[in-house]
Amino acid sequence: MQFDWIIDIILAMLGFLALLGIIMIIISILILGWALRYVNGTNTEFFSVAITAILMSILTAFIPCLGCIIALYIIKLRHDVGWGGALIAWILAVIVSIVVAILIFILFFGGFAAFLALFPFLPFP
């Protein structure tokens, strides 16, 4: 058919996004585990933190504002920390995940200039 190449490109992009999503979930699990160890949380094994991270991802994807508060409550309940510890662990996990995502973007898409091209209001050096 005439449009097979378009379907191939779309499927390749979807596969890349799925792979990137899986990589980011694994990275967020590792980072959340590190942040929970930083605030002296319990149950910091990989699969316990994986369940927490996946629940948080689903909640914040479908219920953005309320999902963040419920995510803190899930961290508080599952890992036996207070509200402050849950907030610190969540903020650390979010900040480090953003930095890692930017580094992965720079690694895959060829440099900092490609990253700055996404934000036209930033001045180029």
Q: What phi, psi does 18 have (nearest 5°)?
A: -65, -45
Per-residue pLDDT, 5: 82
Per-residue pLDDT, 114: 67
Per-residue pLDDT tens for 33-87? 999 999 998 888 999 999 999 999 898 889 988 988 999 999 999 999 999 999 9
Per-residue pLDDT, 89: 92
Amino acid at 47: F
Q: Which value, to the nearest 10 degrees, does the dihedral of the CA atoms of residues 63, 66, 71, 73 take?
A: -150
pTM score, whole prediction? 0.75
- Collapsing DSSP to helix, strand or coil, 124 comes out as coil
Per-residue pLDDT tens for 83-115? 999 999 999 988 988 888 888 777 777 766 666
